Structure formats: C-alpha cells, structure tokens
Structure 1
Amino acid sequence: MKFKITTLIENNPDDNLKLYNEHGLSLYLEINDIRILFDTGQSGDFVKNAELLNIDLLNLDYVFLSHGHYDHSGGFRAFVDKVKVSYKLIIGKKFFNSKYKCAEGRSYKYNGNSFDEKFVNENNISIKYIEEDMFNINKEIMVFSNFRRSNEFELINKKFKVKQKEGYCQDDFSDEIVLGVKTDKGFVIIVGCSHIGIVNILDTIMERTNMQIYGVVGGTHLVEADEARLNATLSFFKEKNIQVLGLSHCTGEKAIEEIGHQFGKKFIYNNTGNVISLNV
C-alpha cells in the first residue's frame, strides 16, 4: 500500500522556517490512488503551504473535517473560495452544532465553524453526514464515530459548550469523527483533537473491528492531561503495541516530551511540513 501523510499546517513551524504555521491542524493523505484533505486549520494558510510543498489540491477525492472547532474547520471557507474542485465533504452528524468556549467571568467565546450548511449547499458541495458507528469509504478506508467511553480518566473538558435555545450545555463531541486506514499491519488512525479521549477512541475501534492499531497520527488532547491520565494513556499505547505515534497539535509539549522519551523511534513529531511515509 502507498500511504503518505503530509502535515500542511500545525501549531509548530517547519524545520526550515519556510511555511506558515498556526494553532490548528491540516493533513494531506495519499492512500494508493485516493487523495484526502483531513481538516483545514483555522485560516486557510494550509493552501499556501500546499503550493510551497508542490501538493496539488485540485485532485482531492474527499475532505474530512474531524469536528466543528475553528482550528480544524476554520480554513474551509478560504479553501472553497480558492480551490474550485469536486470532492465529497465528510462530517459528523452534529458538525454544525453552535460551539462555544467558556472564558473567564462566565463569558462565552464562539469556538466553532466559519461556515454553515447554507454555504456548503450554495457551493454545490457533495456532503455525507456520518451517523453510523462505522462507514466504509472503500475496502481500506473507514470512518468511525459514536465512540464509547471505556475509562474514567479521560474526561471531556467542561469549558467546551454547545449553544441551544435554553442556554449553553456541555459539548459531548458527538460530532467527532476519526479516519481509519486498514493495512496489513493493522489500522492507522487519523485523529483531529480526540476530545472524547484517545484511549476511548482506539478502544472503540478495536472492539468494533477486532483489529490491532498500528499507528496514530494527529492530535490527542493530552495538553490538558494530568500525570495520572498521561501515564494511563502511555501505558495503553505500550499495552496495545502501537508502532507509530505521529502526534502534535493539542497533544501538548509535556506529553510530546514524555512520549518521545518513552517511545523513541516509534514517536514522530508531526510538525508543519512533516511527511510520514508508511511501508504498510
């Protein structure tokens, strides 16, 4: 299988300081003949980086948006305005929930998408809402949602809210979707932020598919993990013998440092411009 992951934008700068970076995530996936854009960062600068990296965004088959937070979907409007191409948009069933973040003094700051369903329809974009637990794109590529909570150490941060008619309620991130690529060595899982918990996500996928997890690429939201949660998560990675950990974004500096220390060559610091080529 030909499987290549290029990080178009991420919080941290590229090694040569020639690309744009920002708090956000966007990945370009080449899986045999399928081309996928996974998340769009917050500003649309990932499009400029794609040009600098000689990546042609005109050949996309799918655009996946992992959840409705600005740092993963904010660049989509700019992308649509700049790149006129036919593809299928894949999002979770509650992607257009009105998302907010609780700030100091009980104020609420908008934290969601830069566009709505009307914008998608006006631009004649084909859309698939993921309601199923598992949805097959093809024999190798799957989408997962509706993750089961299997532990007590991964708690959803209470500062994330959804605005409803009666007020603000806790965001349960039921819009979050994850991409899985089936290989001879097991699943490679592509995640956006893992708000529901990376262990919950991986546990659910293994339970549903009865397959080993070979690699994880993306954000794990360990930036807010205390020592107990971090230790439990890394123990899980070891117990499940995960061989590739291409992590960054919301994983956080402390967790990145500890994962690098404990996992050595299995860990890949997936900053802006990084390329992961998997021999699977």
Structure 2
Amino acid sequence: MRKARLAAILSVLMAACLTYISWRRRPPLQVASHAKLVLKPVSRAKLVVVVDNNPHGGLRAAWGLSIYVEAGHARLLFDAGPDPQVLRENMKLLGISAEALDFIVISHEHGDHVGGLPAIAEVNPGLTVYVPRGTSSSTGEWIRSLGFKVVEVGGPTTICDGIAVTGPLYGPPYEQALIIHVEDLGLIVVTGCSHPGIERVLEYVHNITGLPIYAVIGGFHLVGASEARLADVANTLKRLEVKEVYPIHCSGEEARKYLSEALGPAYRGGHVGTTLELGAP
C-alpha cells in the first residue's frame, strides 16, 4: 500500500516537472505581420460557466470545461465538458437553450472538452464546430458523425462581429483561445486549458489585436506549477492590466490561492455557474 501511494506521488511530481520543462523550452509565440486581427466590437457580452470541476450550488461539477457565450447577436458554446448528461442537466438548470446556439468553438480535442457534444447534437445537429488545425482526424470524424460541420482554423480568424479565435498555438495538443471584443472595455479571452502557457496566450492575443485585455476566464493549466512560474503569470496579468481574472478548471487550488493574493481585486475566482455580464445593459 505504501509503495503504491509513493508511486502515485512520484508520478504526479514527474508530470508536473515535465509540464514545467516543456513550458520553459517553448519560445515566445511569434506574430507574423499578416496575422494582425481587426475585430469589430459588440456592445455587450454574457458568459456562463456551464461545466467546471469547481462546484457551486445545485449544479453538477465534473472535470472539464464548457462556457456559454452571448456576444452581439451570436450565441455559442465554448467547449462541451466531458459528459453529455452533465452538460444537458446544467444547461437546463441555468436556463440555456441548446437549440438557440449558432455555433460551437472547441479549444482542443481532449475528452474533458469535447465529450459533451452529443448533448448538443441531439437537439441542434448541423451546427458548425470550429476546431484548431492539427486536431486528429479521428476526433474530426467523430464530431462529423454527430451531424456537425467541422471547420479547421489555421490562424487568427474572425467568426462574426465581436468574436474571433486565435487558431492553433503549439501542439500537440493543438489549442486555440476565444476572443470577444466588447466596446469601451477591451477583450475577453476564453481559454480551455492554456497548454501553450496562459501568459503566452495573453501576450499573443494582445499582439495580434493591439487591444487591451479586460478579462480572462478558463483553464490556466497551473496544477503543480512552481512559485517562479506563478509569479511570471501574475506579473504578465499585472503588466497587461487585466481587470478581471477567472482561473477555473485545470488552474489548480494552489495557483488560485497565489493569484488571489497577488492580484487583489482583479482576481475573481470562478466555478460552475459563474456568470459575467460585461458592457452596456
């Protein structure tokens, strides 16, 4: 029993070390001159965390992420969590209609971000699902088999007024972030797991848009991160003057505690059911 427990601890430590080493070796994300993104703003945006592993109230918690977004006239789902039943139940409790969705954005192909898609396919087949280029053919075919149209995104791309995606950043896993431009505020950046590094993602978004980042919400991928790494993240958030920070999903409790102390009122936490309403009423 002792040996099994020790082996489990060592495997977690090794995974954390490998994550840190991989992150340190990655160079800054380069922005080609043609990659500049012009994004027309919308007057308001609403985001609701539909699936997350941080529990709250009577909503079901599960390891994964799904965020509902209203921006301008668009309604979309960013990621779908790990399980159709969890997604289905939480959407109902939160008063969110799957039938009203206009499209879906998938950050990356891990099961805790795509597993809930059948719940949407049951009631709204034929939607376009935007995935980052580099997504495996098997995942793409599975999404198509549900009745969705799959569009691979190869770089910074505007989907509609106020909404864009970065396209793939590093990989595997190839991951993209969602960008929402709210008039008079700036950008909301929505991340799935931030495998490329949350600070690198934010720097990249700022560089391709030239706009201030008002808020960031999603997985920060900081479980097991060193204090030096956490300090880098906090310093980047401060330097970019991000006003609202919501680390959820794979951000980790230690990282959440550190950022809470380092960022003061800019730190907002987050859990399943967290709702952001930004911009004009």
TM-score by length of 2: 0.79
Determine if the alignment matches structure 1 residue 176 to structure 2 residue 175.
Answer: yes
How far has the Cα of 1:52 moved from its partner? Answer: 1.1
CA distance in 2, matches of 1:118, 1:214: 36
Correspondences of 1:30-109 after superposition (within 5 Å): 30-44=70-84, 45-80=86-121, 82-96=122-136
Question: CA RMSD for the aligned pairs?
Answer: 1.8
Assess if the C-alpha contact under 8 Å between 1:11 and 1:22 holds in 2: yes
- Structure 2 counterpart of 1:7, from 34, 44, 49: 49
Assess if the C-alpha contact under 8 Å between 1:245 and 1:266 holds in 2: yes
Say which SS state the counterpart of residue 40 (structure 1) adopts. coil
Correspondences of 1:203-242 after superposition (within 5 Å): 203-242=203-242
Aligned to 2:167: 145
**Cα pair distance change 1:10/1:57, threshold 3 Å:** same
CA distance in 1, matches of 2:163, 2:195: 22
How far has the Cα of 1:87 moved from its partner? Answer: 2.0
- Structure 1 counterpart of 2:153, from 130, 135, 139: 130
How far has the Cα of 1:78 moved from its partner? Answer: 4.0
CA distance in 2, matches of 1:259, 1:2: 27
How far has the Cα of 1:174 moved from its partner? Answer: 5.6
- Compare the two structures and name the one with the higher helix fraction: 2
After superposing on structure 2, the runs of 4+ consecutive aligned residues of structure 1 that deviate more than 6 Å are none
How far has the Cα of 1:207 moved from its partner? Answer: 1.7
How far has the Cα of 1:147 moved from its partner? Answer: 3.4
- Structure 2 counterpart of 1:28, from 68, 74, 78: 68
Aligned to 1:168: none
CA-to-aligned-CA distance 1:189-226 (integer Å, 9 cap, x gap): 01000001011111112222222211101011111311
CA distance in 2, matches of 1:216, 1:87: 26
- Compare the two structures and name the one with the higher strand fraction: 1
- Structure 2 counterpart of 1:118, from 141, 144, 152: 141
Q: How many residue pairs end up in the alignment?
A: 236
CA distance in 2, matches of 1:36, 1:11: 21
Structure 1: unaligned runs, 5 residues or longer: 98-114, 149-171
CA distance in 2, matches of 1:66, 1:122: 19
CA distance in 1, matches of 2:53, 2:267: 18
CA distance in 2, matches of 1:87, 1:78: 13
Aligned to 2:9: none
CA distance in 2, matches of 1:139, 1:56: 21
Q: Which amino acid aligns with 1:143?
A: V
Aligned to 2:198: 198
Structure 2: unaligned runs, 5 residues or longer: 1-42
CA distance in 2, matches of 1:74, 1:47: 12
Assess if the C-alpha contact under 8 Å between 2:219 and 2:250 holds in 1: yes
CA-to-aligned-CA distance 1:84-111 (integer Å, 9 cap, x gap): 34421010111226xxxxxxxxxxxxxx
Assess if the C-alpha contact under 8 Å between 2:78 and 2:104 holds in 1: yes
**Cα pair distance change 1:145/1:87, threshold 3 Å:** same
Aligned to 1:103: none
TM-score by length of 1: 0.79
